[in-house]
Structure 1
Amino acid sequence: MAGPRIAHATLKGPSVVKEIIIGITLGFCAGGLWKMHHWNEQRKVRAFYDMLEKGDISVVAEE
Protein backbone atom coordinates (compact mmCIF):
# COMPACT_ATOMS: atom_id res chain seq x y z
CA MET A 1 0.00 0.00 0.00
CA ALA A 2 1.85 2.96 -1.29
CA GLY A 3 0.77 6.37 -0.15
CA PRO A 4 0.17 9.30 -2.47
CA ARG A 5 3.26 10.74 -4.07
CA ILE A 6 4.00 14.30 -2.97
CA ALA A 7 5.98 16.49 -5.31
CA HIS A 8 8.81 18.15 -3.43
CA ALA A 9 10.88 20.98 -4.76
CA THR A 10 14.26 19.66 -5.75
CA LEU A 11 17.16 21.86 -4.77
CA LYS A 12 19.69 22.34 -7.52
CA GLY A 13 23.27 23.33 -6.96
CA PRO A 14 24.86 26.51 -8.28
CA SER A 15 25.20 26.83 -12.02
CA VAL A 16 28.90 27.03 -12.82
CA VAL A 17 28.39 28.78 -16.15
CA LYS A 18 26.06 31.34 -14.56
CA GLU A 19 28.56 31.99 -11.74
CA ILE A 20 31.39 32.50 -14.26
CA ILE A 21 29.31 34.91 -16.35
CA ILE A 22 28.29 36.90 -13.26
CA GLY A 23 31.92 37.02 -12.10
CA ILE A 24 33.18 38.21 -15.48
CA THR A 25 30.44 40.86 -15.66
CA LEU A 26 31.21 42.17 -12.18
CA GLY A 27 34.92 42.14 -12.99
CA PHE A 28 34.40 44.20 -16.13
CA CYS A 29 32.20 46.68 -14.25
CA ALA A 30 34.74 47.10 -11.45
CA GLY A 31 37.60 47.33 -13.94
CA GLY A 32 35.75 49.97 -15.94
CA LEU A 33 35.14 52.08 -12.86
CA TRP A 34 38.79 51.74 -11.80
CA LYS A 35 39.97 52.69 -15.30
CA MET A 36 37.67 55.74 -15.39
CA HIS A 37 39.10 56.82 -12.01
CA HIS A 38 42.64 56.59 -13.37
CA TRP A 39 41.72 58.50 -16.54
CA ASN A 40 40.25 61.25 -14.36
CA GLU A 41 43.40 61.42 -12.21
CA GLN A 42 45.60 61.44 -15.32
CA ARG A 43 43.55 64.33 -16.75
CA LYS A 44 44.00 66.32 -13.52
CA VAL A 45 47.76 65.77 -13.52
CA ARG A 46 48.06 66.70 -17.20
CA ALA A 47 46.04 69.88 -16.61
CA PHE A 48 48.26 70.77 -13.64
CA TYR A 49 51.47 70.39 -15.64
CA ASP A 50 49.99 72.32 -18.58
CA MET A 51 49.11 75.23 -16.28
CA LEU A 52 52.56 75.02 -14.68
CA GLU A 53 54.21 75.15 -18.10
CA LYS A 54 52.12 78.16 -19.19
CA GLY A 55 53.03 80.00 -15.99
CA ASP A 56 49.46 80.25 -14.71
CA ILE A 57 50.45 78.60 -11.44
CA SER A 58 53.68 78.11 -9.51
CA VAL A 59 54.82 75.56 -7.00
CA VAL A 60 57.06 78.10 -5.25
CA ALA A 61 55.40 79.96 -2.40
CA GLU A 62 55.39 83.75 -2.82
CA GLU A 63 57.02 85.67 -0.01
Structure 2
Amino acid sequence: MHKNREERQYITYRSPFDPCPPLPCRTYVVPVNQYVVFQPADLPQFSPAEALKHGTLWPALYSPYESR
Protein backbone atom coordinates (compact mmCIF):
# COMPACT_ATOMS: atom_id res chain seq x y z
CA MET A 1 0.00 0.00 0.00
CA HIS A 2 1.29 3.43 -0.93
CA LYS A 3 1.97 5.64 2.08
CA ASN A 4 1.57 9.39 1.81
CA ARG A 5 1.52 12.29 4.21
CA GLU A 6 -2.31 12.39 4.31
CA GLU A 7 -2.75 8.80 5.46
CA ARG A 8 -2.78 7.92 9.16
CA GLN A 9 -3.28 4.64 10.95
CA TYR A 10 -4.37 3.47 14.38
CA ILE A 11 -4.44 0.17 16.22
CA THR A 12 -7.92 -1.20 16.78
CA TYR A 13 -9.26 -2.34 20.13
CA ARG A 14 -9.22 -6.11 20.59
CA SER A 15 -11.71 -7.48 23.06
CA PRO A 16 -10.76 -10.72 24.85
CA PHE A 17 -14.32 -11.94 24.01
CA ASP A 18 -14.19 -11.12 20.31
CA PRO A 19 -14.65 -14.38 18.34
CA CYS A 20 -13.09 -12.88 15.21
CA PRO A 21 -9.98 -10.78 15.73
CA PRO A 22 -10.18 -7.43 13.89
CA LEU A 23 -7.60 -6.11 11.51
CA PRO A 24 -4.47 -5.12 13.47
CA CYS A 25 -4.58 -1.53 12.24
CA ARG A 26 -6.97 0.72 10.35
CA THR A 27 -6.18 3.70 8.12
CA TYR A 28 -7.89 7.01 7.44
CA VAL A 29 -7.11 10.05 5.31
CA VAL A 30 -6.53 13.56 6.66
CA PRO A 31 -7.44 16.24 4.08
CA VAL A 32 -4.45 18.21 2.80
CA ASN A 33 -6.16 21.54 3.53
CA GLN A 34 -5.77 20.79 7.26
CA TYR A 35 -2.05 21.54 6.87
CA VAL A 36 -2.41 24.93 5.14
CA VAL A 37 -3.96 27.39 7.58
CA PHE A 38 -3.56 30.44 5.32
CA GLN A 39 -2.68 31.03 1.69
CA PRO A 40 1.01 31.94 1.44
CA ALA A 41 2.08 34.54 -1.12
CA ASP A 42 3.39 33.24 -4.45
CA LEU A 43 2.00 29.72 -3.98
CA PRO A 44 2.57 27.76 -7.24
CA GLN A 45 -0.56 27.22 -9.35
CA PHE A 46 -1.72 24.70 -11.94
CA SER A 47 -2.70 25.96 -15.38
CA PRO A 48 -6.48 26.41 -15.74
CA ALA A 49 -6.84 23.10 -17.64
CA GLU A 50 -4.75 21.22 -15.07
CA ALA A 51 -6.67 22.85 -12.21
CA LEU A 52 -9.96 21.53 -13.63
CA LYS A 53 -8.42 18.08 -14.03
CA HIS A 54 -7.00 17.99 -10.47
CA GLY A 55 -9.92 19.76 -8.76
CA THR A 56 -7.74 22.46 -7.20
CA LEU A 57 -5.72 25.44 -8.36
CA TRP A 58 -2.79 24.76 -6.05
CA PRO A 59 -0.50 21.70 -6.34
CA ALA A 60 0.14 21.86 -2.59
CA LEU A 61 -3.55 21.05 -1.98
CA TYR A 62 -3.79 18.26 -4.56
CA SER A 63 -4.30 14.81 -3.10
CA PRO A 64 -4.97 12.00 -5.58
CA TYR A 65 -7.63 9.46 -4.75
CA GLU A 66 -6.21 5.95 -4.72
CA SER A 67 -8.75 3.18 -5.07
CA ARG A 68 -8.12 0.07 -3.02
TM > 0.5 between the two? no
Higher share in helix:
1
Higher share in strand:
2
- Which protein shows a greater Rg? 1
Q: Which has the higher contact order (CA 8 A, sep 6+)?
A: 2
* TM-score, reference length from structure 1: 0.24
